[in-house]
Amino acid sequence: MNFARIPGQKDTIARLIRSVREERVSHAQLFTGPEGCGSLALALAYARYVSCENRSEKDSCGVCKSCVKYEKMIHPDLHFVFPVIKNKKETDPVSDSFIEEWRIFAKKSSYFTLNNWLDSIEVGNAQGMIFASEAGEIIKKLSLKTFESDFKIMIIWLPEKMHPSAANKLLKMIEEPPEKTLFLLVSDEPDKILPTILSRCQLFRIPGFGADEISRYLVSAYNADTKKADEIAKVSNGNIIRAMELFENEDSSKVNLENFKKMMRFAWKRDVISIIAWAEEMAATGREAQKNFLLYSLRLLRENLMLSIGQLRNRLVYLAGEEASFSDNFHPFIKQDNIYPLTDEFNLAHSHVEANGNARIIFLDLSLKVTRLIR
């Protein structure tokens, strides 16, 4: 990944390049923004630019030994930390336990979510985490001298998923960094990172992509029809990951929409037997799929509220296709007096799933509360 392949974020890219050209590279930097803003892609392109042997004023050269190795993600001075899972083979896993899978996955595209990554390694009901054992690996890697580049670079994807003991050891390293070490933290939820780590990082707040940037990317990367690309770009609301998912594979969105429709239909009818059966079905899916459904539902509730208060003409509604057709009839049931308790219940369910609660009870409880709130 280099800067030229990122369809936008020109101001952030210019700032990153200027820091290298002026030799003002902060030893710890945090890239954060809304989902699908390209934060990981920016961190990868920046790391490559820092290590490039023949960088220009606009980008890495793409042909030197460093760039070739970065393209394959095998540069000896580039290290990764990311959420992993425990399984029968890996009872005390670290990122290097899954590094080959990570390289294969991340080389396909630098735009993905935690759910996408965990699905690729078939986690089932497990949840991704950066375990305490990772701390020893971080210390070991960064205690070595650089092999080829001026900097050892460690990209930590989703540091908010880090076990507290690992986070505390990372804090010590950021406070007293080894010579020529660069930490690049890429976070979706910076408020969940240790405040002491946050205070020691240079912050890069990254905005979402523009609709025209996403549209051009879909046309370029997928040879998409311009009209379809424009429609997807509008619906994606600056999220390039969602735009790619809508274009590549509509299955997960269709499944989530169908589950949402069932839930709301049974809740409206107060069909408790069907609600119980639906909760059983949801409990049978993986935890990441359950969290994905709940986040999808929160987005759909927001869009339907926008419809209810007449924001379609202001272009604040991001719906298309089957979602739009369903919402035409559904949105009158989402109002200002029930949107807050509804979102509270879905957020609470997400927290309980994340805490490994009993999914059957969580979804049954959520459905019964929706039954009271939707009428």
Question: What pLDDT score was predicted for residue 250?
Answer: 58
Q: How far apart are CA 180 and CA 146, in angstroms?
A: 8
Report the DSSP beta bridge partners of residue 81: 156
* C-beta of residue 55 within 8 angstroms of C-beta of residue 12: no
The sign of the CA dihedral 346, 250, 239, 60 is positive
Q: What 3-state class would DSSP assign to 179?
A: coil
Give, for all 375 residues of the chain, the pLDDT tens digit: 899 999 989 999 999 999 999 989 999 999 999 999 999 999 999 999 999 999 999 999 999 999 999 999 999 999 999 999 887 776 778 999 999 999 999 999 999 988 889 888 876 667 789 998 898 888 888 888 888 888 999 999 999 999 988 898 888 888 888 888 999 999 999 999 999 999 999 999 999 999 999 999 999 988 888 888 888 888 788 899 988 887 876 567 788 889 999 999 999 999 999 999 999 999 998 887 898 899 889 988 988 998 888 866 556 566 767 788 888 889 999 998 899 999 999 999 999 998 889 999 999 999 999 999 987
Q: How far apart are CA 370 and CA 375, in angstroms?
A: 9
Question: What pLDDT score was predicted for residue 312?
Answer: 63
List, as own/partner pairs, every contact residues 122-125 make where C-beta atoms lie below 8 angstroms and the sequence separation is at least 24, other chains included. Answer: 123/85, 123/286, 123/288, 124/286, 125/286, 125/287
The contacts of residue 169 (CB under 8 Å, 6+ apart) are 135, 138, 139
Number of H helices, E strands in the chain: 17, 5
Question: What pLDDT score was predicted for residue 206?
Answer: 95
Q: How far apart are CA 361 and CA 192, in angstroms?
A: 26
Upper half-sphere CA count for residue 181 (Cβ side, 13 Å): 21
Question: What pLDDT score was predicted for residue 318?
Answer: 65
* C-beta of residue 364 within 8 angstroms of C-beta of residue 276: yes
Q: How far apart are CA 150 and CA 206, in angstroms?
A: 27
Q: How far apart are CA 95 and CA 85, in angstroms?
A: 9
Residue 143 structure tokens: 């205690």
Residue 104 structure tokens: 């294969």
* CA end-to-end distance (rounded Å), the chain: 50
The sign of the CA dihedral 101, 102, 107, 111 is positive
Instruction: Name the pTM for this structure.
Output: 0.74
Question: What pLDDT score was predicted for residue 212?
Answer: 92
Distances (CA, A) of 182 to 106, 142, 201: 20, 10, 11
